[in-house]
Chains A and B, each alone.
Chain A
């Protein structure tokens, strides 16, 4: 390596270290390219009039259209929901690290993201939340 190339490399590394020391580097979020299945998971007792209104709003108008286009899907379930064989459909491990109600984002069967849903979230705001995870 030539001297000025080495100098440029050292300056770059110094700048990188300084950036990390200052506040870290915002690595870009890798958004999955395939359609996302968004699953809202709540405990039955979570639902009050505000969350209840959100669940229904997500089945209307722009939100309903958003979650049915391009292969996207939205499912709203209780955390202990079961199928016809009595098997729980949401793995408990998928809920670690989030407070219910929460949105889980799946690319095919792989969990690729999750976020809790704050009280007062509107349908528009939820679309934005899902969008951060490709949904």
Chain B
């Protein structure tokens, strides 16, 4: 049962809101989602949503992020997408939690400047992100960072560890059909609207209407960290978003 309190939320009216989403940025770099993956017509969406059961991307979320009072939502949503794909590729018990600030410092100009989602993709594709400074990661990796703290310095040589957590393939979302279809294909989508960025994880049937569940980065807000967008909000989010398809298979995962 979805609580209407967290449906079509006006982020700007929430006390946790900090401006963070500046826009899509340069999305020409992406290949188009619809040119590379199957898409599904609107008339089929509710039927497909009803078949998802426990195979939605929300079942692969192992952590709800908390950006606290910094405008780093784009980085938080991006790191959430990377963790979801890690869970898919390697298993939920093999996810390394990530440091959003290690990404935001490269795409934002200040703690409250916000960032473009296109810039986030550039950075995770080019350089990757650092693992979060939790106990498991500190024991395994030479370089970690906290999730918040814009002025936290990068540790020396951080690039070698960040390279283990790169995005390999992502595709541009430019329509509502592509936005919804990507999630049916089990690709998380990083979107932005009303100055805030979130990670879409699951289209759902709510009383005969399609809504989209998203992982927010406001800690214990919402329904266990999640909110829901109706069609209008989804339409606002569908321009200039991107769907993450694959991430690096680092050697510590023992895949090769």
| Chain A residues engaging chain B, CB cutoff 8 angstroms | 37, 39, 44-45, 47-49, 52-57, 59-61, 64, 67-68, 73-78, 81-85, 87, 89
Contact = CB atoms under 8 A, between A and B. Distances in A.
Interface residues of B, number: 41
Nearest to B246: A78
Interface string B25-69: 000000000001110100000001001101111011000000000
B248 A82 contact: yes
B92 A56 contact: no
Contacts, number: 104
A77 B185 contact: no
A39 B90 CA distance: 10
15 contacts: A45-B36, A48-B38, A48-B185, A49-B185, A52-B184, A59-B87, A61-B54, A73-B254, A74-B91, A75-B89, A75-B255, A77-B89, A81-B249, A84-B160, A84-B248
Contact of B186 (A44, A47, A68, A81): A47
A89 B164 CA distance: 13
Contacts of A44: 36, 169, 245-246
B64 to A, nearest CB: 18
A84 B60 contact: no
Determine chain A's interface SS by DSSP, over half rule.
mixed
Interface in B75-92: 87-92
A67 B254 CA distance: 15
A64 B245 contact: no
Contact of B59 (A37, A56, A76): A56
A77 B86 CA distance: 10
B131 to A, nearest CB: 12
A84 B168 contact: no
Contacts of B1: none
A37 B251 CA distance: 15
Contacts of A56: 55-57, 59-60, 88, 186
B136 to A, nearest CB: 17
Contact of A75 (B48, B54, B56, B249): B249
B199 to A, nearest CB: 16
Nearest to B40: A49
